[in-house]
Each structure stands twice: as structure tokens, then as C-alpha cells.
Amino acid sequence: MSGIASLELRGLVKRFGGLLATDHVSVTIAEGELFALIGPNGAGKSTLIGQIAGELMPDEGEILIGDQSITGWGVVARARSGLGRTFQIAQTIDAFTTLESVVLSRRSGSLSPTGFFAPLLGDKEILDIARETLNVVGLGELTQLRVDRLSHGERKQLELAMALVRQPRVLLLDEPMAGMSPGESETMAQLLSELRGKCTIVLIEHDMDVVFKLADRIGVLASGALIAIGSADDIRNNPLVRASYLGEEEIT
């Protein structure tokens, strides 16, 4: 599949014993929209992203990419439908080069087992796509560098490249700036700015300056419930949002 797709959540509920981790969350994210998801620690952000990605199955509700329900699908099927994902801690393999990592990610989306197990760097078309993607994220000069020699910020850039190389229609970004230096954060923010409109993005991020600058809309989770959705100005001025952050952080 190709192109950009909308993402719709309909009444998602997730329980862990007596804990209601996701409380009937509903939202429609438009094609090409950058939708940021914020909230206090423990609000349910990662649990919600896990349900969208297929790592957790909701107890109730439905998830759609475009007009296709993916609610019962596993992680692999969702990835092949055009869902991309990055993690708070980068999921990379130290022994691979950056180029090998991106090629392998592209290959992993192949429906053909024979294609997946072909020589890793034997397909010129995939190599060209991988190099182009590394250029996009600012790692074009580091194609032969092993992952274990990358800085923390470069690893996060690589993981973004590994997601982008599969041309996702919807991209889930879980704290892409976590643990970064100010310079690395600035680089990542610029990358995200350049991605706006090229795919639908759901962003979890604690850097409020970045969220308010980049997001088309912002959703606020508190105790598993989506308590507010709106523009940066809407969220800044929402008294319920301010109350939910009281004692944790100030939204300015």
C-alpha cells in the first residue's frame, strides 16, 4: 500500500486487572496531520500507542487506517498495511551498519520470504532507497558506520530512517527526543518539521516547545481518558488541561 491515510480510534478501552489504562478513547486524525499526544506520566500514552501498533489488543473499540479496520491484526500485518513505529529507546542492532539497518527494515516489509533472505546488500533499487532515506534523516555520510558507534541522537535518527524507508502511511513516534542533547533535539525537530504532510504522524513527546510548534492538533490524556483536543492555543488555555498537569509541569 502507498499514500497517506487517516487514523481513527473508536472507543478504545484497555484494562489491566482493575486499572482502566485506556478509557473509551476516540479521535480521528486526518491524512497528513501531525497529532501530538501529551499527558502526565502514567496517563496511558504508551498503552494507547501500543494498541495502535498491535503490541496490545484493546478490550473494546476499533482502530482504522483509512477505511480499513485493523483492530484484530498483529504487529506485522499492521506494519505491512502502512503503519510505522519508533520507540522511546531506539530498537537497533549494534553489529549492523546504518545502511544495513535501513536495508533490513525495508526488506522486512517484503511479503516474499525469498526476498527477505536474499543477500542483504544485493538489490540496487533497495540500496538506492536506503541511501536516500539516510540522507533525509541526516545520516547520508555515515552509511558504513556501525550502529554501536553512533551517538544517542544518531541512533534515534537511524530508527526514524528505518521507519521511513518502508514508506508508512501512518507513523507513530514515541518520544523521539528522549535523552537527546539540545543540539540533537533541534536536529530531530527539524526532521519532524520536514515530515509534516508527507505522512500522518502521531507524536508522543514531553518537549512542550516542540509539541506546540509542530503539532496541527494536540490531544491530552489523563488517567486513560482523552480530556481535550485542540490547537496549541486551545490546549494552553484549557483549565482542565492545566489542572491535570498541576504539580507535574507547567504548559506555557
Q: Which CATH number fits domain 1-82+169-252: 3.30.980.20, 3.40.50.300, 3.90.600.10, 3.30.200.100?
A: 3.40.50.300
Q: How confident is the model at residue 204 (pLDDT cuts 50, 70, 90)?
A: very high
In one-letter notation, the amino acid at residue 139 is: L
Q: What is the mean pLDDT of residues 103-118?
A: 65
Query: Could you state, in order of their start, the residue ranges of all structural domains in the chain?
Result: 1-82+169-252, 92-166
pLDDT tens column, 129-167:
999 999 999 999 999 999 999 999 999 999 999 999 999
> pTM value?
0.88
